[in-house]
């Protein structure tokens, strides 16, 4: 009986973590308003955490301002609270069902703060990649234990999994380095 070990699936899952990080970095803007800035925010709406774009419409009326039009009047406070408590350092102001968010000028302190947020995001991505690696190694161990693969194949696949892991971690580190340079650029 030959068992198949799906390296492509592991690689796809690891790339998924990298792609999520790229999206999160897209939200870390350097002083300009962007609707993707609020993408990582989830709002407690109707007893369930929901992405902000499922309870409100986000627009950019001017280069340093975001406008969040909340659809349900009862959710305005929850949306405002979620924005205020996010790691983005924003100060939302309620205006009826509209929440206006001025995007602060990036001072040195704010830039350092944003690089810390970027580092935190990339650490989450690294953890996700290592979890996928652990799943793969666990799968190999089980397959060897059940006699589906031999010790040599287990070792070879293990090395391949590690190589893929190292490659994706390297991509994450490079992405973080580029984002930090972009944030610190005045």
10 Å CB burial of residue 47 (0-12, 13-18, 19+) is: exposed
Which pTM does this prediction carry?
0.66
Token duo for residue 69:
């039009």
Q: What pLDDT does residue 17 have? A: 93
Clarify whether residues 86 and 145 are in a common domain: no
Clarify whether residues 56 and 123 are in a common domain: no
Q: How far apart are the first and last CA of the chain?
A: 61
Last residue of a domain, one of 73, 102, 131: 102
Ramachandran bin of 147, using left for φ above 0, alpha for ψ from -120 to 50, beta for the remaining angles = left
The total number of structural domains in the chain stands at 2
Cα separation of 12 and 1, whole Å?
A: 26
Clarify whether residues 111 and 173 are in a common domain: yes
Q: Per the domain annotation, does 169 fall within a domain? A: yes
pLDDT digit string, tens, across residues 79-118: 998 988 887 778 898 888 899 988 877 788 878 888 898 9
pLDDT digit string, tens, across residues 140-168: 999 999 988 889 999 999 999 999 999 99
Residue 51, CB half-sphere, CA atoms under 13 Å: how many? 10
Cα separation of 173 and 167, whole Å?
A: 10
Clarify whether residues 111 and 180 are in a common domain: yes
Q: Per the domain annotation, does 60 fall within a domain? A: yes
Clarify whether residues 59 and 90 are in a common domain: yes
Does position 1 have pLDDT exceeding 50, yes or no?
no
Clarify whether residues 111 and 175 are in a common domain: yes
Clarify whether residues 86 and 148 are in a common domain: no
DSSP-assigned letter for residue 164: H
Clarify whether residues 112 and 164 are in a common domain: yes
Clarify whether residues 36 and 95 are in a common domain: yes
Last residue of a domain, one of 102, 120, 137: 102
Domain ranges, residue 138: 7-24+107-184
Q: Per the domain annotation, does 95 fall within a domain? A: yes
């Amino acid at each position: 009986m030959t068992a198949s070990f799906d390296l492509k699936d592991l690689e796809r899952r690891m790339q998924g973590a990298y792609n999520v990080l790229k999206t999160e970095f897209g939200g870390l803007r350097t002083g300009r308003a962007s609707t993707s800035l609020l993408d990582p925010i989830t709002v407690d709406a109707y007893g369930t955490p929901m992405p902000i774009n499922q309870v409100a419409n986000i627009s950019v009326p001017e280069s340093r301002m975001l406008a969040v039009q909340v659809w349900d009047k009862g959710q305005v406070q929850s949306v405002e609270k979620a924005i205020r408590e996010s790691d983005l350092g924003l100060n939302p102001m309620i205006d009826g069902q509209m929440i206006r968010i001025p995007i602060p000028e990036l001072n040195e302190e704010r830039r350092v703060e944003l690089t810390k947020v970027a580092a935190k995001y990339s650490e989450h991505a690294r953890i996700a990649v290592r979890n996928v690696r652990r799943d793969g190694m666990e799968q190999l161990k089980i397959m060897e234990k059940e006699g589906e693969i031999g010790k040599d194949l287990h070792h070879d696949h293990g090395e391949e999994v590690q190589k893929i892991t190292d490659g994706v971690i390297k991509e994450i580190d490079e992405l973080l380095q580029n984002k930090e340079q972009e944030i610190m650029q005045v």
